[in-house]
């Protein structure tokens, strides 16, 4: 039987032929090539884009993103103030060694040669009629300035400061009644001196005013001077209260710790929800 030759393709034949390998195109897609469609740079450097700068992560996970600056965690000072406040309160309640040392230090401070009139003036800086109007003036100016400048959620920081100030009597009054600590010798016949209400009022009023005024200052040394002045002012108020025999030293320190928690919560709230929303 004679075999017939296979018909050859003609010009009009429409049958598909298998693809033929092209060396040029294969090498063009090799890593490091500089031709069309090259997925990588020829010099090995990553492209200047955030996606290209990512480093590959472990198998099955996405690549890591470039480092992003983060704010320092605020739960550390919050937890530290809470632990120290709990320790002081426990020592006062059980009449521990810290309470006995505190009473000796208080009597020594009352007998110091510091002028009584100056101490009275310093103690009066913690009164409601002095500290709260200062906070109110700074609060009103911060709200006006933020709204005028178009600050995102300009009302949040002033509102947080007002809530922190309102929380002072809500926390101090029940603690005074629960601990029921007797006062210094000059305040005999009265109980409920722990923690100090005047020291707490001064700490929150002046501290919140300083936090509101910080964004309004452009220079770093101005901000540092404001914070230092706030700390020195509260120390002066506490010293005046102890020197005049209105409170024991640990009454003042406990108020600072309590108000430190309030101011830390205020800073965390404004820092978390008072920033401009980022791009989606």
For residues 173 and 170, what is the distance between their CA atoms, to the nearest angstrom? 6
Predicted confidence at residue 195, as pLDDT, reads 95
Do residues 152 and 271 make contact, with C-beta atoms less than 8 angstroms apart? no
> What is the C-alpha radius of gyration for the chain, rounded to an integer number of angstroms?
35
For residues 157 and 147, what is the distance between their CA atoms, to the nearest angstrom? 12
Question: Residue 39 contacts by C-beta under 8 Å, 6 or more apart in sequence?
Answer: 29, 31
Do residues 171 and 196 make contact, with C-beta atoms less than 8 angstroms apart? no
Predicted confidence at residue 271, as pLDDT, reads 79
Predicted confidence at residue 60, as pLDDT, reads 40
Report the DSSP beta bridge partners of residue 134: none
Do residues 32 and 43 make contact, with C-beta atoms less than 8 angstroms apart? no
For residues 247 and 202, what is the distance between their CA atoms, to the nearest angstrom? 14
Predicted confidence at residue 26, as pLDDT, reads 46
DSSP summary character for residue 64: B
**Assigned token pair, 119:** 């101490």
For residues 126 and 255, what is the distance between their CA atoms, to the nearest angstrom? 12
**Assigned token pair, 102:** 């505190």
Predicted confidence at residue 46, as pLDDT, reads 53
Does the predicted TM-score (pTM) go above 0.75? no
Do residues 236 and 125 make contact, with C-beta atoms less than 8 angstroms apart? yes
Do residues 184 and 248 make contact, with C-beta atoms less than 8 angstroms apart? yes
pLDDT of the chain, 280 residues: tens digit per residue: 455 555 554 454 555 555 555 554 444 444 544 444 445 555 555 555 555 444 444 444 444 444 444 555 678 889 999 999 999 999 999 999 999 999 999 999 998 999 999 999 999 999 999 999 999 999 999 999 998 888 888 899 999 999 999 999 999 999 999 999 998 987 766 788 999 999 999 999 999 999 999 988 888 788 999 999 999 999 999 999 999 999 999 999 999 999 999 999 999 888 777 666 654 4
């Amino acid at each position: 039987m004679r075999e017939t030759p296979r018909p050859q393709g003609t010009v009009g034949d429409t049958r598909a032929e298998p693809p033929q390998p092209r060396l040029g195109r294969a090498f063009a897609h090799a890593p490091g090539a500089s031709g069309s469609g090259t997925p990588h740079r020829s010099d090995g450097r990553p492209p200047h884009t955030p996606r290209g700068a990512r480093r590959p992560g472990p198998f099955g996970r996405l690549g890591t993103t470039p480092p992003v600056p983060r704010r320092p965690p605020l739960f550390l000072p919050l937890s530290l103030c809470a632990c120290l406040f709990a320790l002081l309160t426990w020592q006062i309640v059980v009449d521990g060694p810290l309470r006995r040392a505190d009473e000796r230090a208080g009597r020594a401070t009352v007998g110091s040669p510091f002028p009584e009139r100056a101490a009275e003036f310093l103690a009066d800086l913690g009164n409601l009629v002095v500290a709260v109007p200062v906070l109110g003036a700074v609060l009103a100016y911060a709200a006006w300035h933020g709204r005028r400048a178009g600050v995102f959620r300009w009302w949040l920081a002033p509102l947080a400061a007002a809530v922190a100030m309102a929380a002072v009597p809500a926390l101090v009054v029940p603690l005074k009644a629960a601990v029921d600590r007797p006062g210094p010798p000059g305040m005999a016949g009265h109980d409920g001196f722990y923690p100090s209400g005047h020291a707490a009022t001064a700490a929150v009023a002046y501290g919140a005013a300083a936090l509101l005024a910080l964004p309004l200052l452009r220079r770093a040394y101005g901000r540092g001077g404001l914070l230092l002045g706030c700390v020195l002012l509260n120390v002066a108020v506490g010293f005046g209260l102890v020197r005049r025999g209105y409170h024991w030293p640990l009454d003042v320190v406990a108020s600072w710790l309590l108000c430190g928690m309030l101011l830390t919560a205020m800073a965390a709230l404004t820092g978390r929800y008072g920033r401009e929303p980022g791009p989606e």
